[in-house]
Amino acid sequence: MAQKKTATLAVIDYEALKRKNAEETQKLVQACQTVGMFYLNLRGASMSAVFEDVPTIFQTANDFFNLPHDCKEKMQSLREGMERGYHVGKGFEYYEIARDEYQLGKWLLPATFEPQKERITRTIHCFNSAIQTVVAEVCAAVDINIPELSDDPTVPSDTALKLLYKPPMHEAGHVIHPGHTDFGLATLLWYDEETTQIATYDKEGNQTEDWETVPVIEGTVLINLADELAAKSEGRLRSTVHRVVAPPGAKRVRNGMIYLLRPYKI
């Protein structure tokens, strides 16, 4: 068996970034120009609630996903357009909450999620603040203007919180989602299992067949830049090529939570 190669990514401190610490901002810029993926340390007073809220949201999501596929609650949660609402794929399910409708009180949560509305609201607020701060700081540092980068929920967008559910069907290391980049500006991933691998490159900058596994660092989320931000930077910032694999250990249910910064309608 080939030895696992481990990625070494920068750890950016959110509280220092929010204070506009010059050293932390430079570390962020370096990470965005080289790999395009980094850890964001959320262990600070302003983000402490998320570490209590997310496990409860995961348990609630499991209760929802374990309902029969044809039950009324799931059928009422199906939505047209982008990726909003409840969807079933091959070997996975997800439920995506669009930030604009949710913030404006236009989003009706499924009954199973309704008791956790306060936790969901806090989590959306925390993740949105974190990823907005990251993108705003790196854009200011490298002089990129993104007029669409707005915190105003009345501006229609595809920014959303996505809850994922994957049943215990894949052996450890199985490639679930092949190499790809994300669209939008950036993606935030709640990261508590080794499920992400990033591409490697040779001296000429060509992608190789090898992949590096991104280890878990407690108290952090994983952020990667996406295609639209790389395009607006004219290639100065990198949209990370990455893939998703089944985590180490026995087959088991896998929960995921990602926050997608897509501040305009595609």
Band (28; pLDDT cuts 50, 70, 90): very high
Band (4; pLDDT cuts 50, 70, 90): confident
Q: 166 near 254, Cβ under 8 Å?
A: yes
Mean model confidence pLDDT for the chain: 92
Band (2; pLDDT cuts 50, 70, 90): low
Q: Is the pLDDT of residue 233 over 70?
A: yes
CATH number of 11-261: 2.60.120.330
Q: Is the pLDDT of residue 213 over 70?
A: yes
What are the residue boundaries of the structural domains of the chain, listed by start?
A: 11-261
Best CA proximity match to 36, nearest among 12, 5, 4, 3:
12
Distance from chain centroid for Cα 162 = 8
pLDDT score of 1: 46
pLDDT in tens, 119-174: 999 999 999 999 999 999 999 999 998 877 777 888 888 999 999 999 888 899 88
